[in-house]
Amino acid sequence: MEIDRETFKKLFPNLYREMGLKRMSVSIDAVRLDEREAEEEALRSREPTMPTPIDYLRRCDNNEEALEVISYLENRGEIQAEQAEKLRKQVKEHGVRSFGKKKEWGYYSTKYLGDGVEE
């Protein structure tokens, strides 16, 4: 069912006003271009595995760094030219944060070991 803005405003004035205020909005800081990739990441999040190209890109500070990482992985043969081009295109069009929130130092130890590395 499709409804135009004015009809929605007349039918649901309070909801329309609340939506306009955007107090309860949630920002989305990642872009999923491939559903299979999203499913694979969900499965990986349950247990520690070897990092993927996306994991490396999420550690980058800027687009330049991300493009360097993609070239490095391609030169080492860890990703194919087709995947490298797909990743480069996403970095250029959407930016490095389109792969997800930046993974900071200690991300894995916090995620899989609790509060951090035990001393």
Tell me the sheet residues that pair with 99.
30
75 CB neighbour count, 10 Å cutoff? 10
Number of domains in the chain: 1
Answer whether residue 10 is part of any domain.
no
Predicted TM-score (pTM) above 0.75: no
The full DSSP string for 101-118 is S---TTHHHHHHHSSS--
Q: Give 108-113's long-range contacts (Cβ < 8 A, gap of 24+).
A: 108/48, 112/47, 112/48
Along the 119 residues of the chain, how does pLDDT read in single tens digits? Answer: 788 889 989 999 988 888 887 766 666 656 666 666 666 666 655 566 678 899 899 999 999 999 999 999 999 999 999 999 999 999 999 999 999 888 877 666 566 566 544 44
Phi, psi of 53 (to 5 degrees): -55, -35
How far apart are alpha carbons 72 and 85 in whole angstroms?
13
Nearest to 60 by CA among 100, 93, 13: 100
- Copy the structure tokens of residue 90: 């996403």
Answer whether residue 87 is part of any domain.
yes
The Cα-based distances of 91 to 21, 28, 34, 37, 65 in angstroms read 31, 16, 14, 16, 10
Answer whether residue 58 is part of any domain.
yes
- Copy the structure tokens of residue 17: 């006003």
Its domain, for residue 79, covers: 39-119
Answer whether residue 99 is part of any domain.
yes
